[in-house]
Structure 1
Amino acid sequence: MSTIWEALTQAFLLVIRLDADLVEISLRSLQVTLSALLIASCIALPIGAILAVRRFPFRRVTIAILNALMGLPPVVVGLIVYVLLSRSGPFGVFGLLFTPTAMIVAQVIIIVPLISSLAHQALRELWAEYHDLLISLNTTKRQRMAALLWDGRRALLTAVLAGFGRAIGEVGAIMIVGGNIDHATRVLTTAIALETGKGDFALALALGFVLIAMAILVNLAIHALSRTEREGRW
């Protein structure tokens, strides 16, 4: 019991003192995750708008596939990206394996279906409300999608935050394609796994506190946005 309390005390001290390793790992996690989130949002939000506004063959199949990919095992994504970026793979010439770029690619693949599906659900309801108005104004499909994306920004921000929460806590795919290399690709989740295996519980707990704090902040933001959405306030 004393060992546990000692580790907890040391972990709190590491957080309070802004330990160099803790700060470096945390900042790298944010860099990778925010980069992946930006790229994924640029891909996923237009997909959600297209699925809400346009009618095309196999639309329902596409929606079903997106919903199914929300539960795609991250380790499978990591394996696929590893094969594609390995020296014998089609993109091996770029030398991206075991770099932050490979980690970003894996996270983008993981969270695009999630953000797309949530965005589609939100914009579908908005499209049902605005359909007659936008049609009567003789708007183009591009203008309709732009209007939905703007008016549905609160719900879409909730979808983006959900993607952030999924990405920041990812470990399987990141471990495979990043390699957990010190001062290069080590992030919060992979560092926690490593330090726990090494028996350095103080640093592992400190990293865990940071990760939990991020998750709580994201969930509080989602709750606040969802509440204002229901109350019709910005």
Structure 2
Amino acid sequence: MNEIWAGVQEAFRLIFILDADLIEITLRSLEVSLTALVIASALALPFGTWLAIRRFRYRRFTIAVLNALMGLPPVVVGLVVYLLLSRSGPFGVMGLLFTPTAMIIAQVIIITPLIASITHQAMRELWSEYHDLLISLNTTKRQRVVALIWDGRRTLMTAALAGFGRGIGEVGAIMIVGGNIDHATRVLTTAIALETGKGDFALALGLGFVLITLTLVVNLAIHALSRTEQEGTW
């Protein structure tokens, strides 16, 4: 018990003095996850909105696949990306394995279905309200997508934050494709796993507190945006 308490105290000390390793790992985590979020949002938001307003033959099947991909095991994603980027893989010549870029690719694959699915559900309800108006204005499909995205921007921000929360807390895929290399690909989750295995509970707890803080901030932001969206509907 004394050892745990000493580790907690040391963890807070590292946070208070802004330990160099702790700051470096935190900034790298934010860099990877935010970059993945921007890319995933650029893909998922228009696609989810388009899926809500477009009618085509295999639409229900596409939606079912999208929802199924939300539960895709991250370690499987990591394995697939590893095989694609390894030396014997089709993209091995690019030398991306064990780099932050590989980690970003894995996170994009993981969070894009989540953001797209939430976007589709939100835009489907919004489309039912704006359907007659946008049709009567003789808008193009692109204009309809843009209009819905703009009007539902708060809900879409919630979807993006949910994707960020899942991305920054990911460990399995990131460990596989990043390699947890010190000063190169080590992020919050992989560093916590490593330091715990080494018995360095102080740094592990410090990183854990930072990760919990980031998660709480994201969840509070989602709650605030959701509440604002609900109040705006009255």
Fold-level similarity (TM above 0.5) = yes
Deviation at 1:2, TM superposition (A): 1.0
Deviation at 1:149, TM superposition (A): 0.3
1:173 maps to: 173
Note if 1:193 corresponds to 2:193.
yes
Identity of aligned residues (%): 78
Q: Separation in 2 of the partners of 1:125 and 1:16?
A: 46
Q: Separation in 2 of the partners of 1:99 and 1:108?
A: 15
Deviation at 1:53, TM superposition (A): 1.0
1:129 maps to: 129
Within a 5 Å distance, the mapping from 1:53-72 to structure 2 comes to 53-72=53-72
1:44 maps to: 44
2:111 maps to: 111
Structure 2 counterpart of 1:123, which letter?
A: M
Deviation at 1:11, TM superposition (A): 0.2
Q: Separation in 1 of the partners of 2:181 and 2:57?
A: 45
1:4-29 Cα shifts (integer Å, max 9, x gaps): 11100000000111000000000000
TM-score by length of 1: 0.99
- In structure 2, stretches of 5+ residues that fail to align are none
Q: Separation in 2 of the partners of 1:57 and 1:67?
A: 18
Q: Separation in 2 of the partners of 1:135 and 1:32?
A: 40
2:8 maps to: 8
2:224 maps to: 224
Report the number of matched residues. 233
Q: Separation in 2 of the partners of 1:154 and 1:205?
A: 34
Q: Separation in 1 of the partners of 2:63 and 2:155?
A: 18
1:22 maps to: 22
1:99 maps to: 99
Structure 2 counterpart of 1:185, which letter?
A: T
1:10-53 Cα shifts (integer Å, max 9, x gaps): 00000111000000000000000000000000000011011011
2:163 maps to: 163
Deviation at 1:57, TM superposition (A): 1.6
TM-score by length of 2: 0.99
